[in-house]
Amino acid sequence: MNATWYPSYGEHLVTAIDGVQDTANETWLIWTYNSTSSWQVSASGADQLQTFSGTVFAWSYCGLTPSYAPTCAKP
């Protein structure tokens, strides 16, 4: 895993996983799961996520729209 630290946000931006690097059009996103809203793109980076018993996270490599919405299917 490769990441860049952003001190102003207090979190890392993951730029590569298992040798697959971000591009101008695709990036790694972390998703969170809960029973009421299913899978959601995380509102913060992995550094900021709190874990509880039963917490589930997933990474996916997604394309992005010009407004940075993911174009991939939920995990």
Residue at 39 is within a domain: yes
Q: What is residue 41's three-state secondary structure?
A: strand
> Is 54 part of a structural domain of the chain?
yes
Tokens of 71: 């174009």
Answer whether residue 69 is part of any domain: no
Residue 18: give the domain boundaries.
2-63
Per the structure, how many domains does the chain have?
1
Question: Whole-model pTM?
Answer: 0.78
Assess if residue 71 is contained within a domain: no
- The pLDDT value recorded for residue 59 is 92
Q: How far apart are CA 29 and CA 61, in angstroms?
A: 6
Tell me if 74 is assigned to some domain: no
Instruction: Note down pLDDT in tens along the chain; length 75 residues.
Output: 999 998 998 888 899 999 999 998 899 999 998 877 788 888 888 888 888 888 899 999 999 888 888 898 776
Other Cβ atoms less than 10 A from the Cβ of 31: the count is 19
